[in-house]
Amino acid sequence: MPSIEAAAPVVCVTIGRWAVVAAPSRLRTLLGSCVGVALHDREARIGGLAHVVLPDSRGAVDHPGKYADTAIPALIADIERALGGKAAGRLVAKLAGGASMFQAEPPIRNVGRLNQEAVEAVLASLRIPILARDLGGGGGRNMTLDPATGRVWVRSPGGDDREI
């Protein structure tokens, strides 16, 4: 990440939560099998980041940020509140995470892969294009969104920031 952006305030998004900020603030989260969903409105320079833990709420309403089917609509609702209107047709997405953190998991129960599939299905149903992905693998990563530009950086442990 360029050093000029390092001076911007950073809001950390914890597991099962989401946040919305306007430029110059940035959003950051740490992911393993969870999927980070970054949504961006280029015109308004507003961005949101959800830290999705599991694919499906199965009707649970107590922790909407935890599940793909509830976190993404909640994130969009907060973006629309910040915009003062509808975000339809204005948002684009970038995704990171969804790692296979537990080698003993049988492929059919790979939570990271299930999270990826659920997030992509929800975004497709909402007609939000996915511009970039950094998904899968066997390890965690940090994800940072800059709502001023929509740029997203990912860093694996011991690695350098790379833009997706």
Catalytically annotated residue among 13, 20, 27, 34 = 34
12 is catalytic: no
Q: Beta strand pairing status for 10-12 and 26-31?
A: parallel
Q: What residue type is 96 in one-letter code?
A: A
Q: How far apart are CA 100 and CA 17, in angstroms?
A: 21
Cross-strand partners of 155: 142
Q: How far apart are CA 55 and CA 39, in angstroms?
A: 18
Q: Is 90 helix (H, G, I), strand (E, B) or coil?
A: coil
- Residue 130's Cβ-side half-sphere holds a number of Cα atoms within 13 Å equal to 19
List, by residue number, the catalytic residues: 34
